[in-house]
Amino acid sequence: MFEKVLIANRGEIAIRILRACREMGIKTVAVHSTADADAMHVRLAEESICIGPPAAKDSYLNPSAILTAATIAHVDAIHPGYGFLSENADFAAMVEEHDFAFIGPSADHIRLMGDKIAAKQAVKDAGIPVVPGSDGALADADEALAAAEAIGYPVLIKATAGGGGRGMQVVRDAEGVAQAYALARAEAKAAFTSDEVYLEKFLEAPRHIEVQVLADSQGNVVHLGERDCSLQRRHQKLLEEAPSPALNEAQRQSIGDKVVQAIKKLGYRSVGTVEFLFEKGEFYFIEMNTRLQVEHPVTEMICGLDLVREMIRVAAGAPLGFKQSEIKFSGHSIECRINAENPDTFQPCPGLVGIYHAPGGLGVRVDSGLYSGYTVPPHYDSMIAKLIVHGANRNECLMRLRRALSEYVIDGLDTTIPLHQRLMNEPDFVNGDYDIHWLQKFVDGTNT
Amino acid sequence: MADKPERDIDEDLVRQLAKLLDETGLTEIEYGRDGWHVRVSGRTQQVATIDPAPAQSGGDTQATPDDSVDVDLTNAVTSPMVGVVFTSSDPETPPFIKVGDQVEEGQTLLLIEAMKVFNPITATKAGKVVQILITNGAPVEFGEPLLILE
A5-39 per-position pLDDT tens digit: 999 999 999 999 999 999 999 999 999 999 999 99
What's the pLDDT score for residue B52? 40
Q: Of these residues, A185, A227, A252, A291, which one is catalytic? A: A291
A365 classed as catalytic: no
Average pLDDT of the segment spanning B42-46: 49
Encode pLDDT of B86-118 as tens digits. Answer: 999 988 999 999 999 999 999 999 999 998 899
pTM of the predicted protein model: 0.84
Give the pLDDT band of residue B5 (cuts 50, 70, 90). Answer: very low
- The Cα B84–Cα A52 span in angstroms is 15
Give the model's confidence band at A217: pLDDT under 50 very low, under 70 low, under 90 confident, else very high: very high
Contact A72 B47 (CB under 8 A): no
Q: Provide the pLDDT confidence category of residue A367 given band limits of 50, 70 and 90.
A: very high
Minimum mean pLDDT range among A245-254, A323-332, B18-27, B51-60: B51-60
What is the DSSP code (8-state) at residue A130?
B
Distance from the Cα of residue A150 to its chain's centroid:
33
Contact at 8 Å (CB) between A119 and A113?
yes
User: What CA–CA distance (Å, rounded) separates A424 from A238?
Assistant: 13
Q: CA A95 to CA A101: how far, in whole Å?
A: 7
pLDDT band at A163, cuts 50/70/90? Answer: low
pLDDT band for position B19 (50/70/90)?
confident
Instruction: Report which of residues A160 and A214 the model is more confident about.
Output: A214
Q: Which residues contact A267 (CB under 8 A, 6 or more apart)?
A: A109, A219
Q: What is the pLDDT of residue B46?
A: 39
pLDDT at B43: 55
Is the pLDDT score of B59 beyond 70? no
User: Chain B within 8 Å of A44 (Cβ-Cβ)?
Assistant: yes
Mean of pLDDT values over A292-306: 98
* A15 touches B: beta carbon within 8 Å: no
Whether the CB of A3 is below 8 Å from some CB of chain B: the reply is no
Residues in chain B: 150
Distances (CA, A) of A444 to A79, A203, A345, A429: 38, 22, 10, 16
- CB within 8 A of A96, min separation 6: which ones? A102, A107
Helix and strand tally (H, E) in chain A? 15, 20
Digit-coded pLDDT (tens) for A238-292: 999 999 999 999 999 999 999 999 999 999 999 999 999 999 999 999 999 999 9
Residues A261 and A127 sit within 8 Å (Cβ to Cβ): yes
In this prediction, residue A48 carries a pLDDT of 97
Per-residue pLDDT, A136: 80
Q: Which residues of A touch B116 (CB under 8 A)?
A: none
Rounded to whole angstroms, how far apart are CA atoms A106 and A96? 9
In this predicted structure, the answer to whether residue A194 has a pLDDT above a threshold of 90 is: no
The Cβ of residue A346 has, within 10 Å, a number of other Cβ atoms equal to 17
Q: Which residues pair with B43 in a beta bridge?
A: none
Q: pLDDT higher for A67 or A446?
A: A67
Kindly give, in sequence order, each residue whose CB lies less than 8 Å from that of residue B137, ignoring residues fewer than 6 positions away.
Answer: B1, B84, B85, B86
CA–CA min distance B32, chain A (Å)? 26
Determine the average pLDDT of the residues in A167-180.
Answer: 91
A408, A43, A294, A379 alpha-carbon torsion, rounded to 10° = 90
pLDDT of the residue at B69: 57
CA distance A33 to A56: 8
Residue A128 DSSP SS3: coil
- Do the chains contact at A65 and B82, CB–CB below 8 Å? yes
Task: For residue B6, give how far its alpha carbon lies from the nearest alpha carbon of chain A (Å).
Answer: 25
Mean pLDDT along residues A51-58? 95
Q: Answer whether B56 sits within 8 Å of A47, measured CB to CB.
A: yes
Q: Is A405 a residue whose pLDDT tops 60? A: yes
Average pLDDT rounded to a whole number, residues A159-163: 76
The per-residue pLDDT for B35 is: 64
Whole-number percent of chain A with pLDDT over 90: 91
Which stretches of A223-351 are DSSP H helices? 249-266, 296-303, 307-315
* Interchain proximity A34–B142, CB inside 8 Å: yes
Q: Is A52 left (phi over 0), alpha (psi -120 to 50) or beta?
A: left
- B114: which chain A residues are within 8 Å (Cβ-Cβ)? 64-65, 68
Query: Is A311's pLDDT higher than 80?
Result: yes
Contact in structure between B139 and B55 (CB atoms under 8 Å): no
State how far the alpha carbon of A113 is from the alpha carbons of A61, A93, A102, A122, in Å. 20, 15, 17, 9
Q: Is 60 exceeded by the pLDDT of residue A417?
A: yes
Task: Tell me the average pLDDT of chain A.
Answer: 95
Once rounded to an integer, what is the mean pLDDT over residues A302-321? Answer: 98
Question: Between A and B, how many residue pairs show a Cβ–Cβ distance under 8 A?
Answer: 66
Q: Is the pLDDT of residue A334 over 50?
A: yes
Residue B53 has pLDDT above 60, yes or no: no
Q: What band does B38 get if pLDDT is binned at 50, 70 and 90?
A: confident
Residue A166 has pLDDT above 90, yes or no: no
State what percent of residues in chain B have pLDDT above 90: 45
For A36, A88, A320, A331, the CA distances from A62, given in Å and listed in that order, are: 15, 11, 32, 41
Whether pLDDT at B64 is above 60: no
Backbone angle region of B9, left / alpha / beta, with phi > 0 → left and psi within -120 to 50 → alpha: beta
Closest chain B residue by Cα to residue A58: B81
Q: Percent of chain A scored above 70 by pLDDT?
A: 99
A51 touches chain B (CB under 8 A): yes
Measure the CA–CA gap between A380 and A361, rounded to whole angstroms: 30
Cβ contact, residue pair A68, B141, below 8 Å: no
Torsional class of A139: left (φ above 0), alpha (ψ -120 to 50), beta (otherwise): alpha
